[in-house]
Chains A and B, each alone.
Chain A
Amino acid sequence: MDYEQLHRDLVRAVDRVCPRWMSDRADDLVQVALMRVMEIQRKKEGTAEFSPFYLKKAAYSAMIDEIRRLRRRQEVSLEGGSDDEEEAVVYDPAAPTPDPERASAGRQVGRAIRDCLGRMVPPRRHAVTLNLQGHSVPEIGRLLGWTTKKAENLVYRGMSDLRGCLGTKGIQS
């Protein structure tokens, strides 16, 4: 397994997907995750053969554990103000984004979307959720075991439900 390549791939993914405050720490995050995976591999050496697929999944999993830890700290520092000096410095609440007000408005819309999703019938909810996650219609079909036509139909109806629901919450676009 090429750990350097894996390191690069994981850092790039964090960089593309995660908010700034987290992607700035992508390098450390991935380093910790990969060290954990190498440790597991070392301990089990000789008793098991690890495929690259297994190691990649293990690395992703260790990375998500780190990310979840980091998110919890971020939540604490956002809620708790500066009673924990060190946290407040390392995870500066002003740093998450260059425009906190806009982010907070986005978060409100995000909450409204999740609330609307919760009110939809399940197949439409699944279709719209995957669409909002950036998946194409054929991908949605493949993931949910639907034909592309069925996926297209459910995305279309679901998005129209979402539009209506957000409208009742005063969110027009």
Chain B
Amino acid sequence: MNDEAQQISRWRAAFAELDAAPDPASCPSPETIWSAVRGELSPPQMETVVDHVAACAACAEDWRLAAEIQRQEEKAAAGPGKVIPGRFGQWRPLAAAAALAAGLLIAVGVYRVNQPVQEPTYREVQHAGIRSLLPEGQALSRDAAVLRWSPLAGAVSYDVQVSTEDLRTVATAKGQTATEYRLPQSALTGLPAGTRLLWQVDAVRADGTHETSPTFVTAVR
């Protein structure tokens, strides 16, 4: 570890040292912290929560707990042995999308309506890179279930993760060089017709950095 990394880890430890909440009455509810960690709040709400976390060691701990629970979820979704150390959090939007699919879409919809035009919602600006090339609203056929996406400049390979809405892993593929992935038929057995699949592509560049796509939702026939 270099000096700077050591310094940051010392500061992180000090920042994590529990201290009394300065004003317990102003602490956000646990539900709000949970939603913030999952990226489900509007930017102004998010900033309010992060500002509070900056000043309140107790809520900072509550935040880290929610983040840790989410990390465990992601590890479980990735399946045993599939998690690459130091990369947790990569699939975070998948969990957020699943939560959205579970009923939070309406809240986001309302938020979008109320949002001034000049400020695009953060969900849209998150990933300018990879797009799904599947025709919108068209369900995948079981015997030719091929996921396709737009290439990302500089990417040397792609990792793909596919799960159900309750985050059970359906299939994963690593090191794909093509910008498409055929789901093994066996992966789809047992899934009822109309099942919505969440899928996400992680583009890996030559220097080892990556860029994760938004979570796409596609049904199977």
Binding site for B on A (CB under 8 A): 9-10, 12-14, 16-19, 51-54, 56-57, 60-61, 63-65, 67-68, 71-72, 75, 103, 106-107, 109-111, 113-114, 117-118, 122, 125-126, 128-136, 138-139, 141-148, 159, 162-163, 173
Contact = CB atoms under 8 A, between A and B. Distances in A.
A3 to B, nearest CB: 15
B47 interface: yes
Interface of B: 3, 6-8, 10-21, 24, 27, 29-31, 33-34, 36-37, 39, 43, 46-47, 50-51, 53-55, 57-58, 60-69, 72-73, 89-90, 92-93, 98-99, 102-103, 121-123, 125-126, 128, 166, 211-212
A93 to B, nearest CB: 13
A9 B69 contact: yes
Contacts of A128: 54
Contacts of A107: 14, 17-19
Contact of A159 (B6, B8, B29, B53): B8
B54 A109 contact: no
A130 B54 CA distance: 9
B50 to A, nearest CB: 5
A125 B54 contact: yes
A9 B60 CA distance: 19
Contacts of A162: 11
Contact of B14 (A109, A136, A163): A109
Given A71-B18, A103-B17, A139-B92, A132 B69 contact: no
A61 B35 CA distance: 11
Contact of B126 (A67, A113, A135, A141): A141
What are the nearest 8 A-B pairs in CB distance? A145-B122, A64-B30, A109-B14, A61-B30, A106-B17, A13-B68, A129-B54, A53-B102
